[in-house]
Chains A and B, each alone.
Chain A
Amino acid sequence: MTSLLVRLQLTTWRRDPRLLGLLTAMALLLTLASSWATADDVARRTAQQQAATSARAEWLERGADHPHRRAHYGDFVFRPAGSLARLDRGVQAQLGKVLRIEAHRQGTPLFSDASQAGTVARFARPDAAFLLQLVVPLLLIFLGATGLAADRDAGRLKLALIQGASARTVARGHFLALWGLGLSLLALVVAASLGTSTALDGFTTLAWERLAGFMLVHALFLAIVSAAVVAAALWARSARSALLVLLAIWVVATAVLPRAMGSTANTLYPLPSQDAFQAAMQASREAGPDGHNPEDEAIEQRKQEVLDEYGVTSVKDLPIDFGGIAMQMDEDFGNEVWDTHHGELQAQFERQGELMTLAALVNPFQAIDHISMAITGTDLAHDLDFQAQAERYRRGLVHALNHEHAYGGPKERGASWEATPDFFAGLDAFEYAPPRWGAAIQHRTKELWSLVVWTFLALLAIRRGAARLERSQRPC
């Protein structure tokens, strides 16, 4: 019986020219969006790889150099696109993707796509996740209103029940038809992405386990939407009211609630502006040692300790270059200042994130958004992880340069001494290692549970709605 009803729905959609046109347009849109986003992602990765190679080549081409000069010359590291950014760009477009690495200075990534794309970027996010999370649900809502809800209005459901079909079986058939359609569109999106990947980069950059996770959670989300659509058809007084209720929920869940919660989070846990953050950092740093100022008290004190340690009275008699030690002192203090200020900033991010997670518990549209971005590696957590790894790399690099500055080379070196090209070549280039997807999803377990609970509730609503019809507690 269930398969009969599923086939009935498929036949109806196939034979209705308006619905067939709508479904064809949706399939084309999804295919194009997925292929376009994949091609864009492959191009970005290639460009990022080329930029990283070019920056490394420049680093090596400078040859012999003084370590501290090189520390100021610095390097660039590039935030790679999320593992599955071709399906969900997440918040990447708003985040910077180039980070300058140099001594004495920590920074945040610059040159976001949004900052360089003008106002059009505000409206352009045609990736697969956007369509699957917002547009496909709208399609399912519309089809639901022309399906079971319309059957109720027209009296076809009544005739079906009189024939002997159970309301539960009818509801199950409609649910499976809608969900099956949603899964087909999901499969289409993934197939389009895989096809484009095959043509452009031969899967070399595809994260299969993340892809499986992406499909699984979206399948669960589409089950919630399909079940909600059928439940609304069973509980609402008419197809029109079912459609209105579902559209109202869609608007609130996709537009009103996320923005309201975002504003609330910003009000409760405000973030400093970039200027204010840098000014606060600068103010804190001024209280510490300045490696470039020979009259700095802390540097002077440390110099005396080093002189005592080596049993000499002048830095000229030291077998090392005290400048490297002074620079590392400056660097260590700068790191502490960064850890304090950036730690506070990150704590605010986390507080905001917790509030948004709470919102996601009651809003499956936000829950799937958070989970999808975590799985595809395009959420804020991945960006912060990139920043943390880049900062660790910066500290390691600057420490190595300062150490070479202090202890490298012959004891009797002059002011024009330079470290060898081999030394600089021996310093590894930055390579970002994204967290394993299990770890990435770990901080989204609440949202995952939320999806599971919503699935259960939506199916329960169908079961109870059908039972009400069966028990003749409401006319159908």
Chain B
Amino acid sequence: MLQASSVTRRFGTLTAVQDLDLSVAPGELFCLLGANGAGKTTTINLFLGFLTPDSGTVTVGGIEPSVDPKGARRQLAYISENVALYTQLTGLENIRLFCQMGGRRLDDHTLQALLDRSGLSPAQMNRRVSNYSKGMRQKVGLAIAYARETGALLLDEPLSGLDPAAASDFCSELARLRADGAAVLMTTHDLFRAKELAGTIGIMRAGRMVEVVDASTIGAHDLERLYLHHMRAPTELGSAT
């Protein structure tokens, strides 16, 4: 569903992603680990079609986002570290708005059900987003992603800043999505959540994928050791955002 083959992307003299190979099949959750500037967000933006690879190929369901960004995005849902919502609208109004932007007119009952599924109570969904906590915003983002009913989900550090309960709820929903057959690519700094959720874990450093491991074959402490080993190794390349 999500495929990157020998992808390189530079920003001036800085190589943000180099020779990246990555594949996420339906029903698979791929976690990208790496320090800030390792190239994780650049990878997400390449799949979203907001960046064009300098070389190599990125495809979403067989469509190259750089060639047909709209076609690729039709198959994607996206949740960022800080879900960007209109703060003067309620949660319900936000999900209705973003659905209408995608050409989908869902009735309020369906929208409320989506918000309910993501863990937002009826009282919360009718409050303005300016009064929401970060976790509540992430839940609206998740409901927007549900509404798209896409085969692939891109998550850019969605757990960052969530309290443990909210993070746990969020991870439960991700597990359900994965079980429903979605291909999920998630970037995170949380090694233990990655170990808990992912089928495959990739470690990026300075734009390169330095390690890809099957999550079922490695323990959490070994994953941490492996991660730190790569992070502390002498660097050859610059870093990216």
Contacts and interface: CB of A to CB of B under 8 A. Distances in A.
A164 B102 contact: yes
A1 B104 CA distance: 11
A164 B45 CA distance: 16
Interface stretch (B73-81, B176-184, B189-197, B223-231): B73-81
A11 B90 CA distance: 11
A15 interface: yes
Contact of B101 (A15, A154, A160, A476): A160
B89 A155 contact: no
B168 interface: no
Contacts of B66: 472
A11 B129 CA distance: 14
Interface string A145-169: 0000001001110111111111000
Nearest to B80: A155
Contacts of B85: 156
Interface of B: 45, 48-52, 65-66, 69-70, 73-74, 76-78, 80, 82-86, 88-89, 97-103, 128, 144, 148
A198 interface: no
Given A162-B78, A163-B101, A164-B74, A155 B84 contact: yes
29 contacts: A1-B100, A4-B100, A4-B101, A8-B86, A8-B89, A11-B89, A15-B88, A151-B84, A155-B80, A156-B84, A158-B84, A159-B83, A159-B98, A160-B101, A161-B50, A161-B73, A162-B48, A162-B73, A162-B78, A163-B99, A163-B148, A164-B102, A164-B103, A166-B70, A470-B69, A472-B50, A472-B65, A472-B69, A473-B52
Nearest to B100: A4
Contacts of B65: 472
A17 to B, nearest CB: 10
Contact of B88 (A16, A159, A162, A473): A16
Interface in A116-161: 151, 154-156, 158-161
Contacts of A1: 100-101
A4 B88 contact: no
Interface in A145-204: 151, 154-156, 158-166
A476 B45 CA distance: 10
A164 B101 contact: yes
> Which residue, A4, A12, A158, A163, has most C-beta atoms of chain B within 10 A?
A163
Contacts of A155: 80, 82, 84
Interface in A82-96: none
Q: Identify the 8 closest CB pairs spanning chains A and B, nearest first.
A: A155-B84, A163-B102, A15-B88, A164-B102, A165-B101, A163-B101, A156-B84, A154-B84
B98 A8 contact: no
B73 A164 contact: yes
Given A164-B70, A472-B50, A475-B50, A12 B98 contact: no
Interface in A1-29: 1, 4, 8, 11-12, 15-16
A475 B74 CA distance: 19
A159 B84 contact: yes
Contact of A165 (B50, B89, B102): B102
B74 A472 contact: no
Given A160-B98, A162-B48, A164-B101, A12 B78 contact: no
B241 to A, nearest CB: 10
Contacts of B49: 472
Contacts of B52: 472-473
Interface string A321-337: 00000000000000000
Interface string A458-476: 0000000000001111011
Query: Which residue, of B74, B78, B101, has the highest number of chain A Cβ atoms within 10 A?
Result: B101
A472 B98 contact: no
Contacts of A472: 49-52, 65-66, 69
A162 B45 CA distance: 11
B84 A162 contact: no
Contacts of B80: 155, 158-159
B141 to A, nearest CB: 8
B51 A475 contact: yes
Contacts of A154: 82, 84
B54 to A, nearest CB: 13
A135 to B, nearest CB: 24
Contacts of A476: 50
A4 B52 CA distance: 30
Contacts of B48: 158, 162
Contacts of A16: 88
Given A166-B70, A470-B69, A11 B88 contact: yes
A254 B97 CA distance: 38
A299 B115 CA distance: 103
B157 to A, nearest CB: 13
B125 to A, nearest CB: 17
